[in-house]
Each structure stands twice: as C-alpha cells, then as structure tokens.
Chain A
C-alpha cells in the first residue's frame, strides 16, 4: 500500500493549457503539502494544508490553486501553463505533533512544451 500516491507520474502538455495533479495519503496525517523541484533539484514548498485549511502559500503565482476536498486529498490545479512551470511536483504529508517526518509521493514530472 502506497502511503502517499500522486497521479499522473508524467504530464506533457502545451503552453496555455490547464492541468491537474492529484494526491492522496492513507496515513491519517492532518497536513499535506505541494513541493516544486526544478531542474537544479531545488526543493521549494508551494502550499501546505492542515485539516483542509491553507496555512502556507509561498509566493506562488495565482495560476496555481490547491484544492483539498478532505484531509486525505490535496490536488493541484494549474491554469495557463508556462514553460517555466516545467518541474517535478511532489506531494507530501506529515503528522503535526508526531515525528515531523515528511512522507513524499513519487512525484509528477511536468513538461510544458
């Protein structure tokens, strides 16, 4: 059983399109995140959700919108994709008050052509 799963694994699309990445965790964690890893491998947090409420939004363009239907899911919707959005997007989860370990999904390689 995969603890944090995200789909799709690969996403190739044209500039200007809208796309979504889905994430689900079965660990019972109350905090979920989206991280972006660029070509230089820098890991930057984009969003954090705690019990369905946004608690971090790190200077991310408003073309990116996270949506959390429940605490086990955190999806990422991207409007009007740009070349610079090409990266690997990782979903993650953690349990506040616990070990603080981040459990990452396997990543979504987004390529904008």
Chain B
C-alpha cells in the first residue's frame, strides 16, 4: 500500500513569513494529492488539491507543487497570518479517489505575532 511521510512535524513562523510543508509518497501510481487543514478542536477541511497531470496549483496565498519523478509534493503558504495556525495533513491517493487516501502524519503550524 501507499506510505506518506510528512515533514516537519511542527513549524513555527512569524506572521508575514512563508511556511513550507513537505510530503513524500511511496507508490508512483498515486495520482491525487489533497491537503487538509485542521484547526484546534475542529474537523479537517480540504484547502487545496492537485492531480498528477499538474505540476503546480495556486489559490491566493496557498500553493502546492508536485514532483512526480521524486515522488514528493509540498504546500506553500505565503504571508502567513495567525488564522493559518493549525495542523496540516497531506495525503496521497491510489486511483485518484478519496476512497483510497493515505494521510501523512500532520504538521502543526504555529504563526506567531
């Protein structure tokens, strides 16, 4: 099965700085890569996703890049704000569906003033 590694486990940045979270996956057949954000005490929510036929995707201050050859993908958050503080999960899917998602271990992002 798929194995997803995520780094770092914790990340502290100052407000306004950028944050980068990296994930690697093991199965080259994986072709769907979502990122979920989970605020303290809340449910995980999808913030951005990318499919294997695309190398980069942006949505305002959030971007995801995918390197299929190296089997890694990254989440980039620019101009971080206190409300970006949360746990972020990457995931990879064999078959491109939500029913075959394997999640990474999570990154706790703390944005300090």
Contact = CB atoms under 8 A, between A and B. Distances in A.
Interface of A: 31, 33, 40-45, 48, 50, 55-56, 90, 94, 96, 100-102, 104-107
Contacts, number: 55
Given A43-B44, A100-B93, A48 B99 contact: yes
A101 B97 contact: no
Contacts of B20: none
Top-6 shortest CB links A-B: A94-B98, A104-B43, A43-B103, A100-B98, A101-B46, A41-B106
Interface residues of B, number: 23
B99 A31 contact: yes
Nearest to B100: A56
B46 to A, nearest CB: 5
Contacts of A50: 99
B87 A31 contact: no
Contact of B43 (A33, A48, A100, A106): A106
Contact of A100 (B36, B42, B96, B103): B96
14 contacts: A31-B99, A40-B105, A41-B38, A41-B105, A42-B103, A43-B106, A55-B99, A100-B34, A100-B49, A100-B93, A100-B97, A102-B34, A105-B43, A106-B43
Contact of A102 (B44, B87, B96, B105): B44
Interface string B79-108: 000000001010001001111110101101
Interface of B: 32, 34, 36, 38, 42-46, 49, 87, 89, 93, 96-101, 103, 105-106, 108
